[in-house]
Chains A and B, each alone.
Chain A
């Protein structure tokens, strides 16, 4: 049934929470621990649930200064972090995890002005720490995603802290408002601010595949695709998805590979066939360094010490970037 109100339609499922407007339908999976589906005008945007990320592929400098060895537990955390708790609030009312029998009270006509859902993760680190991903959905269908990492002094420095959206098919390109080229916290003076379109999902051909494609200081980003995996979808019209900054600009990379896939390859030609779009949105990333490649660390301002709390917020929604 179509949602004809200007409110959100809320579907209290037995394994998911559905949240819908006329234009977009979100599915939050209780079992998988995250937002697993964003469908807009029949187009699916997620291949796997959005998850927190802590790793970016080792650079040659990281290898040389043993960073990856010292911070290796963040690689485990990146792969295997567990969702421990889910909390749903509808119009400010805390429902906890509204599964049966609690959800027997609802109907198919539940509406709300605002839905908040929070996923708490425990990192696979020793000691463990907590990450929360909080989605706030308002009536216009926009999602505000806030990710928070609880600092822990005993943990090693982080390569990165962000969230990852893996899309089912490769993008035809992306457009963003930020800095030109590939930039990092310690290598962005040469980036010119502007709006840039990047065709396809270019892989920077470093001799040994490694962290690549970072874009610092981004205000908004729109990814465009043309194909879905839906067998009944024969439409070839391009469709888009956008990420917008909230209070602070964000960093992102948009590649056909995950950090793990980059990490595993010794040559560009060993990378798998490009099948997905891996959009990583970062609140913080480690610099690349440059003094040497056999020991010198990244300079302190560009390192991510683990003893501080980190929070970042972005807005996500299907469609093109909407000018403020």
Chain B
């Protein structure tokens, strides 16, 4: 249940592109045609599924404060978390290279369709962002982090596929000249992000923090209305 919840959450609610703006560069650059968008989207799913669990292991057994205790008592005091950026990006760059070599060797047809996108991905913010969010959200198990990687990848895939389809169609529309290309793409993405916000209420079942925040908001609104009412009665008197 936990897994399905995290899966849906990472696709729709915390969508890489629409909620956190990660992978924007490639999202904008490679979304002119649906076929290339599919290629990049698939490559992102692929790489995220591998790197997020890998970086989870790295985080759990090397980087976190006290993570080195499996080496022996004297290492328990080390806190290497300041190295996480450099180690994560190194893992990602190496994995991308490795995946590229393996795919080229064993799956030439897949390589032909994904190949050119793989090097691009090493510096895609969505990939590093996936690992950093995994770390900052403290995802507890290896299974969950894999699910998170797949889900985030699918979220990115969904986003780039839809915008590519829209951009193919919008070429026939009469967009104001100054908005053509980049401008209208930004605005459409904004509107799509608003649409995706409506998924926000999907999984609020046991989200205590969100609930508390909401109650706090409602309370302030009530307070304000009360204040206004009091002011109004004063004026009336």
**Bound pair (A, B):** no
